[in-house]
Structure 1
Amino acid sequence: MKKSSLSKRGWREAGQGYAFLAPALVILGLFVIAPILYSIFLSLHKVELIGGAAYEFRGLDNYLKVTFDDRAIIALKNTALYVAIVVPAQTFLALVLAATLNAGLKGQKFFRVIYFLPTLTSSAVLTLIFMWMYNQNGLINHILKFFNLPTYNWIGDPDVALTAIMIMNIWATAPFFMVIYLAALQDIPDSQYEAAELDGASGIQKFWNITVPNLRPVTSFVVIMGLIGTFQLFDQSYIFSGGSGGPNNSTLTVVLLIYQYAFKTLGTMGYATALAFMLAIVILIATLLQRKLSKEESLY
């Protein structure tokens, strides 16, 4: 009787637990798992949506097609270049800003707010502001002229268009990571800096030998978040080029190309879905490599 009673009680408690979980499981299934499974299905088919959905099984053809798609290769190169430059630059700038604002300067609270403001601005609005600044008669070219430096057609020149987006995003994203570094800096024991001062260490030596090593776990997190964000560059490129990825495909990214194939070209929804899965795999591999190469443990 006791075992039977305990068994019934266990089943009753399990049922109550699943009842509480049911709403979350339903939402997860409908809006996460089901779309993923449907996307896998789409990636294996040629999809026609005009006149009613029609599917033609293609197997792995959509995935193999990437190797013959010149625009996909260009988009991958642009995205890789963007990631390789923006992630290190925004990480380093965020660390330097955080260390500077944590040094006890006068008015540091005011500067923290000022530096963080770009993060609160809509990405679309920020892009439009920079497009105005990047105009041939805009603020940036006026500053370059003032210092007798060469000016550029930032938006229309294929050689500098992607660079213009890089500069904008480094400036806009570094403050967010700066706040993360600022929080981490509060946990570094003052005793380490005091011991370094007694040994005659300079400010730069303390930064490289105490601050940077202690922030390794946080830097790993910042780099991973940066990788995920930069691989998914879309809105700035779309607004800059009007959705074309121009000039001359210089701002074409993988996500923008996925959008074009999914919503601008007939019969390529399946191929766009395959590209999206391939991008997800690339992001996963890059994230795992970063975790592998980073030392997760703190030194204090």
Structure 2
Amino acid sequence: MKRTGSQRKSRFDQAMAGYLFLLPAIVSLCVFLIGPIIYALYISFFHFSFLDPQNKAFIGLKNYIHLFRDPLFLRALWNTTLYAIVVVPVQTAIALFLALTVNNLKGKTFFRIVYYLPTVTSTVATSLMFMFIFEPQGLLNNFLKVFGIHGPNYFNSPTFALPSIMAIAIWSSVGQYMIIYLAGLQDLPAEVYEAAALDGATGWRLLKYITLPLLKRTTFLNVVLSLIGTFQVFDQMDVISQGTGGPLNSTLSVVLDLFNQAMSQNMGYASAIGFVLFIIILILTVIQKYFFERNDEAGV
């Protein structure tokens, strides 16, 4: 059936109305996100300062080449990678354990609120609270003294500063991933468990062969979100080290290094750091996607 002119005009008007509703969001996205990203990519090829933009100098790939010769950036990249390697699996495992536990308890709403509260608490406030707990005469060391253990000065020790920040990150973020796991658990089909129960599967076998495989996509989401969050860590390290990344650069992260470079008006170099970080996160995400899809195809 051929459409009449009035029908075509009506569909055109509806489409235009939809685009008009989208226009504010599209303009906002272009002005505040896409535009700055393109401009940051542009200035990453320059020696550039916002205090003297007229005297920018094109230097090509020198900012990117210098990155991998800069011992400060390499130390920041190592700290961030180590931070992610520890925090992501521990955080994911604890979140799964909490979700499995809470899912079988009455009053799920109460536990959701309790575990989610640290996630919505200010990172600065959380960092200050843990600085009080981890100080030389703080709560943790006073507790250890009961057992005859003399705790270190955590945040002033190159050995203990980064692990202490890892503990803060795990405590403050695990509730977010627990909530996502809870949503995934409540969406699992009951008939699969009923069929498995008829076959005699219980306890660990149910968890291993039914629950974990069905939660694979939820786990992928949690791991990707956690990985992005850990590679973008900034607040805790900035507050605890007072912006220095100390002691001895042991808490310097890639984003903190980027921030310090930008505050020094080395904007071209800071932009290069940002794009290298983006590429690293993108590559890791693609690798994880490939790994999970391959396991799906293998039926693991």
TM normalised by structure 2 equals 0.89
Tell me the residue number matched to 2:181: 181
1:50 Cα offset (Å)? 3.3
Distance across 2 between alignment mates of 1:287 and 1:233? 17
Tell me the residue number matched to 2:40: 39
Map 1:1-300 → 2, pairs under 5 A:
5=5, 9=9, 13=13, 18-50=19-51, 53-104=54-105, 106-197=106-197, 201-263=201-263, 265-266=264-265, 268-295=266-293
TM normalised by structure 1 equals 0.89
In structure 2, the CA distance between the partners of 1:5 and 1:160, relative to structure 1 (3 Å rule), is: same
In structure 2, the CA distance between the partners of 1:217 and 1:46, relative to structure 1 (3 Å rule), is: same
In structure 2, the CA distance between the partners of 1:4 and 1:40, relative to structure 1 (3 Å rule), is: farther
For residues 238-263 of structure 1, the C-alpha deviation after alignment (integer angstroms, 9 at most, x for no partner) is 00100000000000000000000000
Greater CA drift, 215-224 or 287-296: 287-296
Greater CA drift, 144-153 or 154-163: 144-153
For residues 174-222 of structure 1, the C-alpha deviation after alignment (integer angstroms, 9 at most, x for no partner) is 1111011111111223444445555554523322222211110100000
Structure 1 gaps, min length 5 = none
Distance across 2 between alignment mates of 1:48 and 1:173? 36
Greater CA drift, 83-92 or 146-155: 146-155
Q: Counterpart of 2:171 in structure 1: which amino acid?
A: W
Percent identity over the alignment is: 43
For residues 50-92 of structure 1, the C-alpha deviation after alignment (integer angstroms, 9 at most, x for no partner) is 3554210011111111121000000000000001110111000
Q: Counterpart of 2:281 in structure 1: which amino acid?
A: I
Distance across 2 between alignment mates of 1:18 and 1:101? 44
In structure 2, the CA distance between the partners of 1:7 and 1:234, relative to structure 1 (3 Å rule), is: same
Distance across 1 between alignment mates of 2:116 and 2:270? 36
In structure 2, the CA distance between the partners of 1:217 and 1:47, relative to structure 1 (3 Å rule), is: same
For residues 156-185 of structure 1, the C-alpha deviation after alignment (integer angstroms, 9 at most, x for no partner) is 000110000001111111111101111111
Q: Counterpart of 1:179 in structure 2: which amino acid?
A: I
1:45 touches 1:56 (CA, 8 Å); kept in 2? yes
SS at match of 1:68: coil
Distance across 1 between alignment mates of 2:221 and 2:210? 19
1:217 touches 1:297 (CA, 8 Å); kept in 2? no
Distance across 1 between alignment mates of 2:98 and 2:153? 30
SS at match of 1:283: helix
In structure 2, the CA distance between the partners of 1:17 and 1:207, relative to structure 1 (3 Å rule), is: closer
Q: Counterpart of 1:88 in structure 2: which amino acid?
A: P
1:6 Cα offset (Å)? 7.6
Aligned length: 295
Coordinate RMSD, CA, aligned: 2.7
1:110 Cα offset (Å)? 3.1
